[in-house]
Structure 1
């Protein structure tokens, strides 16, 4: 079995070759992972925080955006380094370093962050659809569930196709805002002044933390550490050093492009709204209307198109990150479409409830809140990442230098300090504004905050106190045992599933290859009519009688050839009926024909083979239909 299947996104690991390439071609082979990561830096959540910051404070928060981008560059480069050197993503490394109980809560917090991120994509897509097609927001939110199909399609097409789609979305966003800049004509001198740091308090602190959460996104650290493993590299010091260098180029280019897009949104808001006296534009819809009012119809149309593109691309990367986090932290592996659907449903609920109870105008505030939630979760991803990449025993010559370590810890301290300040100020505000809710704040909110604080402290202290005490790397399918002697297995009772298709002949041939003329053969066919599902053996409709007659013809044919055969009819659910017969008849081997359905038919018709495999404790041979 391919070892890649033991890893998160294992099906695409080492799927993009970089060998036998030099210069420009080699660099192009490494380009891609950071672009998938970068879409998270220009999703609808960024739009909300940038528009709120630009309209309320003009160009004054550009320095926050710039500082956030520098921190993101540093942390994403560490994430890539971890994946390249250790061949582990951040969630897998955490699984090895922390106890199971801690990993469970790290997973819960990371999942909340992904839901918050997905919430931003939902709202952004819904708003974009309303702006372009005047579709009610509640419909737009509901329609976003269908992007699971697009996600599934792109994943099946391979990593390069997925990257190509994402880069095309980035191009649409970037081009739209480049044209917007020509339309609004910002003041370059005022923009330059915005790069000077200033004091952050009250609303500016809240928006600044939202900008940080929207820029340095925790799930992107998990994602990047896995995506860099899609490139085949030579596992030598020179090969690893080369991979780190080219991935750094990839990161710098992609994230700086993301910064330019974010800066363009903030500058657009500052120029179009702040300068015209509109100081509280937190709603994307309001931004659209004001753009139309000030600059005509072209600017808002570009704005809406870019919004849809950014939401769709960010949705895909959020799904990938969710898969990595689930498999890495808690060793749970489910189908990508199911995981996507679960995350999307969990994100749709708060969006729908907000529209129903507070109206469409509250979605902008919900967007900003989602980005603040992302920022609050950052410490739980950043602190382990710095510990792992600083570990000289695990990273060898590729452990980060003292200078990089100081910068990384300073960034982590800055992020955590701002978050602590925000949480403290928010709790004080709640106590003042809602005196009747004091009991809930003291008995529920404060204990939860203290618990999260203790967890963060533990995440920081454990790798320092128990240095190099990592548990053995988890192997999902166990360790290969020693092989000493192999004896042939003789099967005495073999079952063959029959569906009266062209596949039956191949199934029968494969079955007799296993048992010869010494084995007993039981031919199984399941009647799936409505009557069979409800009445079981009592049913005697025309289809059941016809199927029984046809099955007996197969039995007679096999007996004429010298094989011992019998027939069994099942009723209702194919998988359950087959498993029941197998267990009752003491069958020790089963041969099944694969229906040959593709992905979407499997979703509609189900997968009998996989279901049976999980319901019986005997070997199952799957025979695929022969192509003409």
Structure 2
């Protein structure tokens, strides 16, 4: 969720902290760290639970195995499941159906409520992130109600239209495409934030240390590599030569742009360090004279 980085930044800016006092800023950073760590840890636990349940149900299963299990449980959604011996392939909707077959109908509704809650959470964070970005880049002076109405409408209305004219299977495929698009956007959030938090002229005494920079760069590279692998894997499953060619061209341009972004960030960091050095020499000369 690359847009959440902007959301967290906006939420931090909204806190009443005297930024002229380093001790108060340091204390606020500690509480921000605890807040984000707790939120991300809870999200991690939820994802571990989901993966564990799916692994227990889906591992080494074929479509026929699941079809027989759903037939025994009397599932009303059995018609959407194929009857062959290929490895089980599910999406969000079929995954919930299969869970209901193995753990009973309540599990199916628990899964549905969880997906609804996740969708609402994602929509709200995306909407608020867009709202804060619009305020910063476009300098909008609308009332809060007008901004929220516009951004929520832009987020929800297209989704409602797609849901009304398409079936559930197409919506599940659309979710996969959205995940791929968010993966592609990650470097445009991670690289600038690493650059900005490493600038002495911007962060002063709160600049990232050498250890923080190394860890940040390593984590960013790992996340980008994992997401690049899954993007390629997603394209391979589409099975069209023309899509391969198109994906190859887009991937090449994308990598060129990411390299350009890295170069631009390094140039900005170098200029900042040069200016800081010049200011230091100037101050030294003033004090000496």
TM-score range with shorter-chain normalisation? 0.7 to 0.9
**Per the alignment, do residues 251 and 397 of structure 1 end up closer, same or farther by CA in structure 2, a change over 3 Å counting?**
same
Separation in 1, partners of 2:106, 2:237: 42
Counterpart residue number, 2:268: 466
**1:146-204 deviations in Å (ceiling 9; x for gaps):** xxxxxxxxxxxxxxxxxxxxxxxxxxxxxxxxxxxxxxxxxxxxxxxxxxxxxxxxxxx
Could you say which residue in structure 2 is the equivalent of 1:312? 120
Structure 2 partner of 1:341? 153
Radius of gyration: which is bigger?
A: 1
> Does residue 1:382 correspond to 2:194, yes or no?
no
Say which SS state the counterpart of residue 467 (structure 1) adopts: helix
More helix by share: 2
Q: Per the alignment, do residues 426 and 333 of structure 1 end up closer, same or farther by CA in structure 2, a change over 3 Å counting?
A: farther
CA distance in 2, matches of 1:239, 1:456: 36
Deviation of 1:220 (Å): 0.7
In structure 1, distance between residues paired with 2:232 and 2:121 = 35
Q: Which residue of 2 aligns with 1:290?
A: 98
Q: Provide the secondary structure at the position in 1 that maps to 2:222.
A: helix
Local SS of the residue matching 1:232 = coil
**Greater strand content:** 1
How many Å apart are 1:253 and its aligned residue? 1.1
Q: Once the two structures are superposed, what CA deviation does each residue of 1:392-420 show, in whole Å capped at 9, x if it has no partner?
A: 12101101111111011112222333444
Check 1:457–1:327 CA distance in 2 against 1; reply closer, same or farther (3 A cut).
farther
Which gives a bigger RCO, structure 1 or 2 (Cα 8 Å, sep 6+)?
Answer: 1
Aligned Cα root-mean-square deviation (Å)? 2.9
Q: Which residue of 1 aligns with 2:74?
A: none
Deviations 1:231-256 (A, max 9, x none): 21232111000001111111111111
**Structure 1 equivalent of residue 240 of structure 2:** 434
Q: Which residue of 214, 226, 230 maps to 2:10?
A: 226
**Does residue 455 in structure 1 map to residue 234 in structure 2?**
no
Unpaired runs of 5+ in structure 2?
67-86, 273-289
8 Å Cα contact 2:197/2:203 also seen in 1: yes
CA 1:285–1:417 in structure 2 vs 1: closer, same or farther (change >3 Å)? closer
Distance 2:210 2:39 in 1: 26
What whole-Å deviation, never above 9, does each CA across 1:419-462 have from its counterpart, x for those lacking one? 445556667787xx434x48xx75x6555444333332222111
2:180–2:231: 8 Å Cα contact kept in structure 1? Answer: no
Which aligned pairs between 1:54-65 and structure 2 lie closer than 5 A? Answer: none
TM value normalised by structure 1: 0.35
- Relative to structure 1, the CA distance from residue 413 to residue 295 in structure 2 (aligned partners, 3 Å threshold; closer, same or farther) is closer
Tell me, in whole angstroms, the C-alpha distance in 1 between the residues paired with 2:240 and 2:98: 35
1:248 aligned partner: 33
